[in-house]
Structure 1
Amino acid sequence: MRRFYLWGFALLMAFDTLAQVSFKIAGAHAFPPQASLDWLARLFGQPWIYGALAGYIGAFFTWMGLLKHAPIGPAFAASHLEVVSVLILSAWLFGERFGGLQIAGAIAIVAGIVCLALGERDEPAAS
């Protein structure tokens, strides 16, 4: 079951990260935003918008599969790991900079997930 969680949450993080990064790239190519059919055509003419949709659909089905088996506390926390992966990829792909607060936030997210997972593991099973 542990392998299921590891693969499941890695897949969830990958889908969520794909969606966020794809939206950023698609949005950058769709500027300036306008309320017009031309703008919608420009937006949906970007292949990255479909990467974002695929990421969200994949994340939805992965999340539904994980919820069948994973305890909700650690699962909900782990579902936010994409915040950390998007932060790292944004620095690498887009040259965005992050400072001490972002690093502290990423560490807090990971530490929270670890604490919830350890607490769940140590809790006696309900009968």
Structure 2
Amino acid sequence: MSSISPPASSAWGRQLAIWLTFIVLDTGTQLAFKWGADGLGDMDFGLAMMAKAVSLPGVWLATLGYIGVFVVWMVILRDTPLSRAFPMTGLVYVTVPLFAWFTFDEHIDLVRAGGIALIIAGVFLLGGDE
């Protein structure tokens, strides 16, 4: 018996949804870490800082985010060669600075904007169909 495979557009839509989930989760995780780190103020690394860190919601959100990113990454790697999947993770180097700009009022100068543009170009070149 032959199996019926889903239409190519359906498979493409599934991959797009998985990648969007990865990018949203990973971006959110990095922003949550920043939120948590901001809550530490000027504390030096040590037990007091660690105790404070585990009391911060941003740190907990980031930890849960990493678990979610891990699960989604396993799904991605199940269907995509690492040599193609890994360059796609570079999109997070675009989304994190942009959302940090909106969320934390971080500065993106011309050099960083150029770097973001190069990352986008590189992801398209490396992540395209083979």
TM-score by length of structure 1 reads 0.85
- Structure 2 gaps, min length 5: 1-10
| Larger RCO, structures 1/2 (Cα 8 Å, 6+ apart) | 1
Counterpart of 1:56?
66
Which residue does 2:122 correspond to in 1?
Answer: 112
Per-residue CA distance 1:3-32 (angstroms, 9 max, x = gap): 122111111111111111011110111122
- 1:80-118 deviation per Cα after TM superposition (whole angstroms, max 9, x unaligned): 211111111111111111111111111111111111233
2:119 is the counterpart of 1:95: no
SS in 2 for 1:97: coil
Residue of 13, 36, 40 corresponding to 1:30: 40
Aligned to 1:81: 91
Unaligned segments of structure 1, at least 5 residues: none
In angstroms, what is the RMSD of aligned CA positions? 1.5
The alpha-carbon distance between structure 1 residues 38 and 70, as it changes in their structure 2 partners (threshold 3 A), is same
Q: Residues of 1 paired with 2:81 and 2:46: CA distance?
A: 45
Identity between Structure 1 and Structure 2 (%): 27
The number of equivalent residue pairs is: 120
SS at the partner of 1:30?
A: coil
